[in-house]
């Protein structure tokens, strides 16, 4: 396969370029449908003249359809897109990049989607779709899935297909509430995931961050004890990786602790732990929920984070991550991680 692709790239470079362009158009329409032509052109960086010709071709091939709301894929278009995913991964070199990243980080698997979510926010939905496929391939009968918060994990929730619910899933928040953005909190996201897949979920009405005194009081409550036991028995843990300073600000961190995080050169955050570039923990928030040591009990830990700006945070966390970790990221972060 690699030999044939190399020949194709040398003899028919234009064909490869056209194929990549049309694949990108189909991918974007599928992710954002229905979508208008102007929005599509702006998001992909194409001129409307160039895009018009490509859209007409795809319409003639019965791969996309038009409506008053915008463009969407036909069934044949979806089938073609799915068939192309593996081929495009080879053509763009992402398959090799995945293997390199997997070996470099010492994890079970790396899954990379094309693009950079820093530059193209819609790539977050592609991360979500890739994560959904990853979960589908690993689910067994009756799974407990612990879920953290964050915008990337919220994107995963939106991309979960209904058929996942056939496995009798129970979604649980991996920790309490964080900040004021209710839509991106773990409890909200786990509820959305359950709704999307016609599954069950449990709520966890406690704050994410508490004082030592309140923590000692909370963990003695029967409801909290029961939920923590459920969370820690999760088969799959699904979480994001945050930028250290961004997460500290979101938690309304005190000036004293913020100073500690900054002086400790923290670059990444996960589960309330702040890591420097060497993967050392420079600060730990007193959180009610899953802890770093609990991850070793899960069958799979799926970390989802993308964008070149997240590369340092991903690298820092991965030095503490269990070997069972599967990283779902994008090309923007992956290429920096490989060079580092």
Domain ranges (residues) in the chain:
2-91, 94-339
The tens digit of pLDDT for each residue in 201-217 reads: 998 877 666 667 776 77
Q: How much of the chain is helix, strand and coil, in % rounded to 5?
A: 55, 20, 30
Residues 74-90: what's their mean pLDDT?
87
Q: How far apart are CA 27 and CA 191, in angstroms?
A: 27
What per-residue confidence (pLDDT) applies to 83? Answer: 87
Give the distance from CA 207 to its chain's centroid: 24
94-339 matches 2-91 in CATH topology:
no
What pLDDT sits at residue 2?
59
The residues, any chain, with a CB within 8 Å of residue 192's CB and separated by 6 or more, are 154, 157, 158
Return the residue matching tokens 């820092």.
316
Angle, helix 75-91 to helix 94-105, in steps of 10 degrees? 60
Yes or no: domain 94-339 corresponds to CATH 3.40.50.1220: no
Other Cβ atoms less than 10 A from the Cβ of 52: the count is: 13
With cut-offs at 50, 70 and 90, classify the pLDDT of residue 31.
confident
pLDDT of residue 208: 64
pTM of the prediction? 0.85
Residue-wise pLDDT tens digits, 114-132: 999 999 888 999 999 999 9
Q: How far apart are CA 178 and CA 166, in angstroms?
A: 31
Where does the pLDDT of residue 104 fall: very low under 50, low under 70, confident under 90, or very high at 90 and above? Answer: very high
Q: Tokens for 138, please give them.
A: 């690993």
CB burial class (10 A; 0-12, 13-18, 19+) of residue 29?
buried
How much is the pLDDT for 256? 94
Give mean pLDDT, residues 293-302.
94
- Which pLDDT score is estimated for 102? 94
Q: Is 252 exposed, middle or buried (0-12, 13-18, 19+ CB in 10 A)?
A: exposed
| Short-list 314, 306, 317, CA closest to 113 | 306
Per-residue confidence at 236, pLDDT binned at 50, 70, 90? very high
Q: Would you state the pLDDT for residue 275? A: 97
How many helices and strands (H and E) does the chain possess?
A: 15, 13
Q: What 3-state class would DSSP assign to 201?
A: strand
**Worst-scoring range by mean pLDDT, 8-22, 47-61, 114-128?**
8-22
Query: Could you identify the residue written with the tokens 């329409």?
Result: 29
How many Å apart are CA 242 and CA 331, to the nearest integer?
18
Would you state the CATH architecture of domain 2-91?
Orthogonal Bundle (1.10)
């Amino acid at each position: 396969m690699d030999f044939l692709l190399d020949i194709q790239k040398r003899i028919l470079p234009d064909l490869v370029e056209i194929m990549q362009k049309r694949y990108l158009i189909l991918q974007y329409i599928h992710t954002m449908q229905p979508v208008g032509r102007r929005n599509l052109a702006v998001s992909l960086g194409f001129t409307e003249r160039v895009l018009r010709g490509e859209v007409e071709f795809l319409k003639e091939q019965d791969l996309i359809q038009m409506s008053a709301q915008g463009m969407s894929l036909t069934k044949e278009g979806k089938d073609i897109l799915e068939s192309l995913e593996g081929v495009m991964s080879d053509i763009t070199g992402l398959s090799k990049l995945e293997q390199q990243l997997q070996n470099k980080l010492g994890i079970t698997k790396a899954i990379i989607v094309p693009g950079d979510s820093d530059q193209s926010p819609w790539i977050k939905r592609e991360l979500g779709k890739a994560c959904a496929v990853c979960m589908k391939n690993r689910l067994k009968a009756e799974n407990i899935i612990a879920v953290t918060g964050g915008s990337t994990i919220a994107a995963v929730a939106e991309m979960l297909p209904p058929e996942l619910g056939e496995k009798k899933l129970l979604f649980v928040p991996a920790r309490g509430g964080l900040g004021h953005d209710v839509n991106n909190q773990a409890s909200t996201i786990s509820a959305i995931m359950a709704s999307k897949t016609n599954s069950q979920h449990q709520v966890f009405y406690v704050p994410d961050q508490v004082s030592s005194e309140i923590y000692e009081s909370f963990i003695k409550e029967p409801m909290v004890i029961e939920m923590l036991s459920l969370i820690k028995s999760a088969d799959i843990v699904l979480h994001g990786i945050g930028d250290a300073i961004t997460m500290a600000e979101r938690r309304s961190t005190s000036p004293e602790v913020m100073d500690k995080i900054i002086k400790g050169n923290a670059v990444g955050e996960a589960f309330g732990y702040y890591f420097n570039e060497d993967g050392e923990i420079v600060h730990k928030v007193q959180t009610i929920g899953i802890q770093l040591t609990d991850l070793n009990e899960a069958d799979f830990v799926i970390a989802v984070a993308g964008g070149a700006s997240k590369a340092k945070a991903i690298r820092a966390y991965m030095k503490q991550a269990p070997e069972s970790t599967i990283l779902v990221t994008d090309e923007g972060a992956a290429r920096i991680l490989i060079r580092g």
